[in-house]
Amino acid sequence: MPIDVSVRPTTEGDRTQVLCSVREAFSGEVGDGREEVEIVEAVWSLDASMSACDLVAVTGGEIVGHVLASLGRLDRLAIPGIAPLAVRPDCQGKGIGTALMTDLVRRLDLRGFPLVVVLGDPGYYGRFGFQPSGPLGIHYLPVGADSPHFQVLHLGGHHQACTGTYVYSWEASNEL
């Protein structure tokens, strides 16, 4: 059942609550959320997040979800990559992830980006229009050229032919 949620840009004061939400969202049978928390911290430390694309979902005065996009590289082109999208387990299935993604995609489109990428469940992200990147000539080497989990969403009227290998912002900093 959907709940009343507001989406707004993340502030400095939100960061502790955001990290707790991210850790909770990704803790369970498969992991402890540490990798996703490290990604958020790395993007923040690089000042790589675009302020309009670091968003929290708030309900009842509490942060219950977070989504972050930062500029990675698709060969020489600066392209936003989403990582991670997190919703606290007690709030999942209530439309919070959808609210965050819808707002994020709208903001990226308004900024004129030709596309955005994400590594995630094709069943979930497909409903926002994401499609596997391999057939489009866009690859993310850590998961392989034909992984259906690395996906692309072409935005608005900004479509341009983009192909190549994608590197997330926090990975690019490791190459320097």
C-beta of residue 76 within 8 angstroms of C-beta of residue 172: no
Domain 6-175 top-level CATH class: alpha beta
What confidence score (pLDDT) does residue 76 get?
86
C-beta of residue 162 within 8 angstroms of C-beta of residue 73: no
**Per the confidence metrics, is the pTM higher than 0.85?**
yes
CA dist., res. 32 & res. 115, Å (int)? 31
Q: What type of residue sits at position 123?
A: G
Q: Where are the domains of the chain?
A: 6-175
What pLDDT digit, counting tens, does each position of 102-148 carry?
A: 999 999 999 999 999 999 999 999 999 999 999 999 999 999 988 99
Arithmetic mean of pLDDT, 82-108 = 96
What confidence score (pLDDT) does residue 176 get?
41
- Residue 27 is classified by DSSP as B
Asked whether the predicted pLDDT for residue 72 surpasses 90, the reply is yes
**3-state SS assignment for residue 84:** strand
